[in-house]
Amino acid sequence: MSKRSKILGSYSSFKPQNKIKAKTGLFFKLVLSFFLIYQFISFFIISSFVVNTSAMEPGILKGDKIVSAPIISGSYINLFRVKMPGFKEPERGDLFLIKPGNAPQIKWYYQILDPVIRFFTFQKISISPDRNQNWNNKLSVKRIIGIPGDSLKMVNNKFLIKQKGETGYSLEEYLIEKEYQLTLPQNITGVDSSFPFLGTMDEITLSKSQYFVANDNRSISYDSRLYGPIPRENIVAPVILSYWPNFKFK
């Protein structure tokens, strides 16, 4: 075989391998691009969420699918402790996706790697150290009841709110302009009335950047009645609508 034939033979044998490498590289670039676009949209613009508790009944039921919009209030990047600008701050009566006040702090490398692994395993695998803490590490829907400077107390499962600079209290349904219904617990006798489930709470005053959040279903006290006010960075995104099983703007 001539030297020219050997060169041509070698070139033809490498050509299919180069095509495979090129296609593989293109595939991974497309997947990576899709991942980055998905993360950007869901973190900064709009995202979907499935409600997994009955804490917001009767307005939002367990199993409802909702849409939140971080772009409205501005996302908080925990990794860099930076808040992106938004169009409006949380107000009384607003529905928000929040992180509970006792949510554990996650190391920066978990914050980077965990979303990647969950994305490529279709949410089946997580490496976050709080992945098995089903009660206190999840995002949840809550209603903003108190904003910075407010003083609040609870009587008969309803909040009394004293605005900053005011001397008197207003019942939540008169102060909050948004309309919403409550699920109230049944009266229980023979138990200390200060117990969170029983509809009373001592006065609390919110400091700068503190918010008080509560469930519409007041028989479930896993809200600021239990873990206290939450900082601004724990307020993730406003809920703008539910789309399954019923379509309704919030």
3 state SS for 50-116 = ECCCCCCCCCCCCCCEEEECHHHHCCEECCCCEECCCCCCCCCCCEEEECCCCCCCCCHHHHHHHHH
137 C-beta neighbours (distance < 10 Å), count: 17
Q: What is the pLDDT tens value at each position of the chain, 250 positions in all?
A: 555 555 445 545 555 667 787 778 888 888 888 888 988 888 889 988 889 899 999 999 999 999 999 999 988 877 677 788 888 999 999 999 998 876 667 776 667 677 777 777 766 777 776 655 544 457 899 999 999 999 999 998 899 999 998 889 999 999 998 889 998 887 655 555 555 557 888 999 999 989 999 999 998 888 999 999 999 999 999 999 999 998 888 8
Q: Is 239 a domain residue?
A: yes
Side-chain-side CA neighbours of residue 140 (13 Å): 29
Give the pLDDT of residue 195.
58
Q: Is 65 a domain residue?
A: yes
- Which residues have C-beta within 8 Å of that of residue 235, sequence separation ≥ 6? 73, 76, 90, 96, 98, 144, 211
CATH code assigned at 181? 2.10.109.10
Q: Is 237 a domain residue?
A: yes
CA-CA distance, 198 to 175, in Å (whole number)? Answer: 23
Q: Is 13 a domain residue?
A: no
Give the pLDDT of residue 23.
79
- For the chain, the distance separating the N- and C-terminal CA atoms, rounded to the nearest angstrom, is 78
Q: Is 190 a domain residue?
A: yes
Q: Is 84 a domain residue?
A: yes
Q: Report how many domains make up the chain.
A: 1
Asked if residues 157 and 185 have their Cβ atoms less than 8 Å apart, the reply is yes
Domain of residue 190 covers: 46-100+138-249
Q: Is 23 a domain residue?
A: no
